[in-house]
Amino acid sequence: MNEIVWIAIWSISFFIAKAEIKCQFEDDGGMMFHMCNATGVSDNILRRGLVSDKRKTFHIILNQCNIVSIEQEAFYRLPALAILDLAENKIESLPIGVFDRITSLSRLNLSYNLLTELPLGIFNHNTDLSVLDLEGNRLHTLKPGLFDSLWRLYQLDLSHNLFTGKEIVPELFERKRDISILTLSGNDMTEANFLSIMNNLNYLFLDGCSLKVVPKLATAANMKQLRQLSLASNEIKSIDDATTFSKLIDVMKLNLSRNQIVFIHKDAFKNLRYLEEIDLRYNKLTTLPVDMFQNIPKLYELRLSYNLLTDIPLNAFFGTELKRLSFDNNNITHLHENFLMKIEDAGLMLRIMHFGNNPWQCACLRELLREVKEMEVLYDNDSYDGEHPVCVTTKDFYCRRDAAAHEQFIRMYNENIRVR
């Protein structure tokens, strides 16, 4: 009797654990949208019949369906298919010809699978493909010619694979020099030089690429079309050369956050006439040269949070259009008297300012809070709700603006308030 009961329970458990892909079909203005998911935990093979042979299908999503392999005819007779999302599965390889019959494909997402290589010719019939996402696989090399047939490709994501810059050859992009958006984050790009033939990049992401200096491949003359450059989460310690970014004449957004930067040449951003945003959060800056950000005419947002700054120079932003400024989590005990009023007199109209979790002198903080309220500047008011301590003071309640006071108030704040 006990044996029979055990067998029955095992059979039910097996039935529940067995995965099955189920799809919901929706008609979106005559074009079919398929949203698929898997029940259970066992692996699936994507075969013809699940989503194939549906001539009006425009968009298919097969995320997290435990797919380990795809049969060659899985996407047979889908002439209208434009968007195919196969992210977060367990696909290790793709058979040649699997995408041949979906010639209208414009977006393909293969991110977070287990792909180790892509066979040459896999995209030969996908000439309309414009967006290709290969993030989070196990790719370590790509064969020259792989992208040659993708005449419309403008966005390519190769992030978080196993690439090393020195192993990617320029010939890979010989016929794809017009890619506009390229993401290489999470790969080792320390010795890369394959971007030298690309002249039309607008967006380049090199976050977490083990870079110890600003790479020349990202700031060379052929990068003059860049609108956004991201070098976040690297190991850059200084920017000593005044001409580092000088060739990026059209750059609008520059992300240098989460590095180890202790020094930036005062002219590093000079002549970047279209620069709108600079992100320097989570570095080790202790001072700002007064003229570092001056006369950048389009500068709209500056992020300086989580550094070691002790002062924000009053004249630092003259000649800009600064509207958003964040310098929370630094070592600032006071600002210049009537800081906001004086920069407004100089033509600046700050709209948002974040300054929380600094070792404020209470008297100085009171002055600043009064000023931001009077001038209707948005600030991190949740930090100043009166429910927890945010500043320190001595018996003499007045705002001390002498340099000698810095260390005293920083020490008091660190000992009594700052969350470690």
CA 396 → CA 39, 103, 142, 399, distances in Å?
68, 77, 68, 9
Q: Which domain holds residue 386?
A: 295-420
Average pLDDT, the chain: 91
- Evaluate whether residue 29 is within a structural domain: yes
Residue 345 and residue 277 share a domain: no
Same domain, 135 and 266: yes
Of 12 and 376, the one with more pLDDT: 376
Do 134 and 170 fall into the same domain? yes
> Residue 419 — very low, low, confident or very high, per pLDDT cuts 50/70/90?
low
**What CATH number should be reported for the domain holding residue 49?**
3.80.10.10
214/303 same-domain check: no
Give 285-308 pLDDT, tens digit per residue: 999 999 999 999 999 999 999 999
Express each pLDDT in 43-93 by its tens digit: 999 999 999 998 899 999 999 999 999 999 999 999 999 999 999 999 999
The answer to whether residue 185 sits within a structural domain is: yes
Q: Which of 95, 145, 101, 144 is nearest to 115 (CA)?
A: 95
pLDDT tens column, 120-140: 999 999 999 999 999 999 999
| Model confidence pLDDT, tens digit, residues 383-406 | 887 778 899 998 889 999 888 888
The one-letter code for the residue type at 1 is M
Residues 258 and 373 in one domain: no
Angle, CA 230 vertex, CA 226 and CA 234 arms, to 5°: 140
DSSP 384: G
> Which H or E run includes 239?
strand 238-239
Q: What is the mean pLDDT of residues 94-98?
A: 97
DSSP, collapsed to helix, strand or coil, labels residue 156 as strand
Pair (319, 406) in one structural domain: yes
Q: Provide the 3-class DSSP secondary structure of residue 343.
A: helix
Distance, CA of 167 to CA of 21 (rounded, Å): 38
Domain shared by 375 and 231, yes or no? no
Q: Are strands 20-28 and 31-39 parallel, antiparallel or unpaired?
A: antiparallel
Report pLDDT for 104: 96
CA atoms of 221 and 204, how far apart (whole Å): 14
| This prediction's pTM | 0.91
Question: Taking a C-beta distance cutoff of 8 angstroms, is the pair 118, 132 a contact?
Answer: no
366's tokens: 């009171």
In a domain, 12, yes or no: no
Q: Say which DSSP state 164 is in.
A: B
pLDDT beyond 80 at 14: no
Our count of domains for the chain comes to 3
Residue 331 structure tokens: 């070592």
